């Protein structure tokens, strides 16, 4: 499940995260490099510089999605030559990134700045903060007062991959989902059928799981499914009209493909006789779920919205 989530995140940010077209990313490898790629300056200066050009690095993607930079972090700035000082500066940078995203409503309390570092910088960070580099630690003067997690290289890579994935997911939540309109226009033709269904409140404090914008999407899914289920599958030969359901999450309630098919049918009704009519409306077996998924993917490809979706 986590690998599928990672692949979906990577695909979306590759296609839509950038201001000037697509840019392939890998998680966490290219992201870690994007924020700390350095090159020695030609001048006789003991500094390194970030290589930021052609709008293809992490903070450009953040600026593209958010519209404003993080205070104190420029697109190009010097990093100290000393590896310990450089590591502390990168750690501060990641701390500012997390604080900035949290201020926008991101849930990232479980992500620590050091998990966003490159492996070699994380090793320096743990050595300094556990006293293994006493001289460098004293010179830096930046000891952390909280608990330090010392992870082996394999565990760190797993943690880093998860941390960067969660950062991107929360970026999507706070910068992209708010573009979803919260304006709800009542549809007289569907009010009667919806009045017996429990409602989903869009108010900000009604859920500690889904944001207001995610609940707006759930409301949209409920209304289109209830409105269209009797239209899409009125002539179904594979189970008849599907029963009413209350869509309250984005995994189990969408698993059989019927809710998503109802949404697509609202905008592309010509897909009903060619694709959706063939779906099982009360799937029971893995084969029937797979059958519905294949039809849904074929429908997405028919309107050029496949985005490299895999069943």
CA dihedral 57→61→63→65, nearest 10 degrees, is: 180
Question: Could you please report the per-residue DSSP string of 154-205?
Answer: HHHHHHHHHHHHHHHHHHIIIIIGGGS-------HHHHHHHTTSPP---STT
Predicted local distance difference test score (pLDDT) of residue 198: 57
- Mean of the pLDDT values across residues 82-106? 89
Predicted local distance difference test score (pLDDT) of residue 205: 52
C-alpha 117: how far from its chain's center?
19
Q: Which residue has the higher pLDDT, 81 or 155?
A: 155
Helix (H), strand (E) counts: the chain? 12, 3
What is the rounded CA–CA span in Å between residue 26 and residue 38? 19
What are 143-183's pLDDT values in tens digits?
Answer: 445 677 788 989 999 999 999 999 999 999 999 888 866 55
Tell me the CA distances in angstroms from 80 to 30, 39, 86, 89, 236, one per residue in order: 22, 11, 5, 8, 68
Q: Answer whether residue 248 shows pLDDT above 90.
A: no
- Mean of the pLDDT values across residues 266-295? 93
Predicted local distance difference test score (pLDDT) of residue 203: 58
Beta bridge partners of 80: 47
């Amino acid at each position: 499940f986590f690998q599928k989530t990672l692949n979906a995140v990577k695909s979306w940010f590759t296609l839509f995260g950038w201001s000037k077209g697509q840019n392939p990313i890998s998680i966490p490898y290219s992201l870690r490099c994007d924020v700390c790629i350095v090159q020695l300056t030609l001048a006789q200066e003991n500094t390194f510089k970030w290589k930021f050009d052609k709008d293809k690095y992490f903070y450009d993607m953040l600026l593209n999605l958010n519209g404003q930079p993080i205070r104190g972090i420029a697109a190009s700035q010097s990093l100290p030559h000393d590896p310990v000082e450089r590591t502390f500066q990168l750690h501060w940078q990641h701390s500012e990134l997390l604080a900035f995203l949290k201020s926008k409503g991101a849930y990232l309390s479980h992500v620590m700045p050091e998990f966003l570092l490159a492996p070699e910088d994380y090793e320096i960070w743990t050595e300094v903060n556990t006293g293994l580099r006493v001289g460098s630690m004293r010179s830096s003067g930046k000891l952390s007062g909280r608990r330090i997690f010392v992870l082996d290289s394999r565990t760190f890579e797993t943690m880093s991959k998860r941390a960067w994935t969660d950062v991107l997911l929360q970026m999507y939540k706070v910068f992209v989902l708010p573009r979803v309109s919260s304006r709800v226009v009542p549809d007289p033709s569907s009010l009667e059928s919806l009045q017996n269904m429990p409602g989903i409140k869009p108010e900000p404090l009604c859920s500690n799981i889904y944001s207001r914008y995610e609940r707006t999407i759930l409301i949209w899914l409920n209304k289109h499914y209830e409105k269209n289920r009797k239209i899409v599958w009125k002539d179904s030969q594979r189970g008849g009209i599907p029963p009413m359901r209350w869509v309250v999450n984005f995994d189990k309630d969408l698993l059989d493909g019927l809710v998503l098919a109802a949404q697509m049918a609202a905008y592309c009704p010509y897909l009903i006789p060619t694709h959706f009519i063939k779906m099982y409306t009360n799937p029971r077996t893995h084969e029937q779920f797979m059958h519905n998924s294949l039809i849904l993917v074929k429908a997405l490809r028919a309107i050029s919205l496949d985005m490299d979706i895999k069943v």
